Amino acid sequence: MKIIVTGITGFIGKNFSKAVTDNENQYVCLVRRTSRTENLVKAENIKYSISDFSVENLTESFIGADAVIHMAGQIGAYEITEERFREGNYNLTRDVMQACKAANIKQLIYVSTPGVIGFGKRLSTEEAPYAPRNLYEQTKAQAEQFIIQEARNASVKYTILRPDFVYGPEDIRRIKMYKNIRDRKFVLTTSGKSYLSPTYVADVVQGINKSVCNPNAYNQIFNLSSETDMTVKEYLDIIANYFGTKIVHINIGYRLSILLAGLIEKFCNSVLKKDGFVSKSKIDFLAIDHSTSCRKARKLIGYKAEYPFSRGFDETMKCYAKKQLL
């Protein structure tokens, strides 16, 4: 099969490319002219193609392919505007879907986020109503809804995947947190009793691969998460134990934590012109349930999360050690 891939230079994308070098499919990975590709995987079945990501260029690239895996998008960061979120998450996905229709693509696999259903739920299912909390989640939810609507009047089948709290090799976003835990500079200020689902990136890649041209995945939404969820305190303790230290836990409560985080965030953004070391969203992440159930993916596509967090974290640290990142 010929498969088109976007977002190959991202965290999940890089791990995906490493996992498919020995299979029989042919992958055409679309990258922008400004993308750095020198360190990407080189393999006979992987080709990198420059694209401007216009509908016309996408359609031309898609012709003759069986499926499109759309991972490209705009993640959250300080000073990312609403326009950039809309362009990177909704507009681009809209154009990808239109190109899929024009090129008679059999299946569009869209990598989204469980954040589209918001926080406040434990082991939430794919049927939970949309409740996005921020611009990133809002634009991802809008993209999902567009795909579902368009597919009703098209031959293109969709599969929407929602990888949950993904970590692993190539993920540099959490290195600072790991260092702070190692150096006892990280302080947990809430109860630590909320639930989350840390999911190793290799499990996510497995879920993507099991969805490709799989009739059981057609017109379905799947959570890709860990086999079991865990409390925030359990999650942080595993990290601390790896470094031979302990989590600094001073439970001042959710409300006071949010108040202080808001003040710090406002000061850092307005005065220091940078992202704060703590924020309301970071407090919410550690204080409110947001785990997901992968039962549907297990049942329909044979997804099986093979990495409990302790094992996945060990593998992540091995990778960091080789690259001297910690």
Please determine, looking at this structure, whether the domain spanning 2-172+196-227+291-309 carries the CATH number 3.40.50.720: yes
pLDDT of 268:
84
Give domain limits for the chain: 2-172+196-227+291-309
d(CA 293, CA 209): 19
d(CA 55, CA 103): 11
What letter would DSSP give residue 139? H
pLDDT of 232:
98
pLDDT of 25:
95
**Cβ within 8 Å of residue 98, ≥6 positions away:** 55, 59, 150
d(CA 69, CA 4): 6
**In contact, 122 and 229? CB cutoff 8 Å:** yes
pLDDT in tens, 54-81: 999 999 999 999 999 999 999 877 678 8
Regions of the chain short of the pLDDT cut 50: none
pLDDT of 285:
95
CB 149: neighbour CB atoms within 10 A?
11
| CB-neighbour burial class of residue 162 (10 A; exposed 0-12, middle 13-18, buried 19+) | buried
**Cβ within 8 Å of residue 142, ≥6 positions away:** 89, 90
**Cβ within 8 Å of residue 208, ≥6 positions away:** 12, 16, 69, 109, 111, 161, 224
Q: Which residues pair with 107 in a beta bridge?
A: 67, 157
What letter would DSSP give residue 278? S
